[in-house]
Amino acid sequence: MAEQTEHPDGTVTRLRLDIAYEGTTFQGWAKQPGIRTVQGELEAALATVFNRYPPHPTVSVAGRTDAGVHATGQVAHLDLTPAQLKHITEPHGRGARRMEPGPAIAKRLNGIAGLRSDIHVSGASIAPPGFDARFSSIFRRYEFRIADSGAARNPLLRHHTVWYPARLDLDAMNVAARELLGLHDWAAYCRPRERASTIRELQEFQWQRDATGVLLARLQADAFCHSMVRALVGATVSVGEGKLGGDRLAHIRDAAERTSDFKVMPAHGLTLVEVGYPPDADLAARAERTRARRDQAHPPTAHLTE
């Protein structure tokens, strides 16, 4: 029998889902009536799988991505009742064998989505005790792709790469990016949300060119507030084009006020590539600390990251 975890609604089994999606036709992660979203598609598929076993499972996510943003490393969790668990793991049909819960739910969800879907459950497994996709995480990592005037422009990647009409100075962008690292108030680089904290630790921010000349930014933080990644990318692009001095970006950050000195970059160049978690033994404690910080700050905290 699969390992079970205690939950306020009774004894359930928590599953971790690793998810990839092409964000072009999604209006973000969060479910909204009458609008196609990643959460909406997943929960509709779960309702089909567990049609006879209500209440239908819902998914909790590490970070709600905005409209047009892609993911290769999104993480979510869902809880299954004993009846739901039995339904997906027991053999169905002649010659069928019992499946483990993770592969069983991934197979069902991907089967409903179809072979040409823009969403795919790349992995699923029983979550360790204390795991919470959102609150147990310790970092999120994003990548942003730009083809400037010196790079090859591949139409097959046009939905994942911003085409920029100027030549950008990679070295200047990296100098400016390094100056931004650390724990700071990022209000100047975030879209404001009432009562939501804008204090984050930017742990990594660097640029490089790939073999085709495309500029690739890698950014990692304990969390990102809304539009923060695209604003940071836009600010360093302005430096790379010579419109802003590299030292200006830290001054903008420290002023903690929104500015029109640079443009926030389009969503389609952005991909969530990884969500990091501590060792299994530390998952519950990490979740408790994160929830405590959220409660002290009185949001609902912005875990809408991009």
On whether both 69 and 175 belong to a single domain, the answer is: no
Domain count, the chain: 2
On whether both 18 and 129 belong to a single domain, the answer is: yes
82-109 mean pLDDT = 87
Instruction: Select from 136, 155, 180 the last residue of a domain.
Output: 136
Catalytic-labelled residue, pool 66, 79, 132, 148: 66
Domain span including residue 100: 5-136
Residue 306 within a domain: no
Is residue 300 pLDDT above 50, yes or no?
A: no
On whether both 149 and 261 belong to a single domain, the answer is: yes
Is the separation of the CB atoms in 200 and 186 below 8 Å?
yes
Which helix (H) or strand (E) segment holds residue 19: the answer is: strand 10-21
State the Cα–Cα distance between residues 205 and 227, nearest whole angstrom.
15
Strand 162-163 relative to strand 215-221, pairing: unpaired
Q: Which burial class, exposed, middle or buried, applies to 265 when counting CB atoms under 10 A from its CB (0-12, 13-18, 19+)? A: buried
Residue 302 within a domain: no
What's the pLDDT band for 298 if we cut at 50, 70, 90?
Answer: very low
For the stretch 136-175, pLDDT in tens is 999 999 999 999 998 999 999 999 999 999 999 999 999 9
Is residue 261 pLDDT above 70, yes or no?
A: yes
CATH code (residue 22) = 3.30.70.580
For the stretch 209-232, pLDDT in tens is 999 999 999 999 999 999 999 999
On whether both 193 and 265 belong to a single domain, the answer is: yes
On whether both 117 and 153 belong to a single domain, the answer is: no
Tokens of 4: 């079970």
What mean pLDDT, rounded, does the chain reach?
91
Tell me: cis bond preceding 55? Omega within 30 of 0 counts.
yes
278-290 mean pLDDT = 95
Lowest-pLDDT choice from 6-15, 48-57, 203-212, 214-223: 6-15
Tokens of 283: 């998952």
On whether both 153 and 224 belong to a single domain, the answer is: yes
On whether both 131 and 12 belong to a single domain, the answer is: yes
On whether both 145 and 249 belong to a single domain, the answer is: yes
What's the pLDDT band for 291 if we cut at 50, 70, 90?
Answer: confident
Instruction: Select from 85, 118, 136 the last residue of a domain.
Output: 136
What's the pLDDT band for 98 if we cut at 50, 70, 90?
Answer: confident
Q: Is 280 a catalytic residue?
A: no
On whether both 126 and 144 belong to a single domain, the answer is: no
State the Cα–Cα distance between residues 50 and 73, nearest whole angstrom.
26
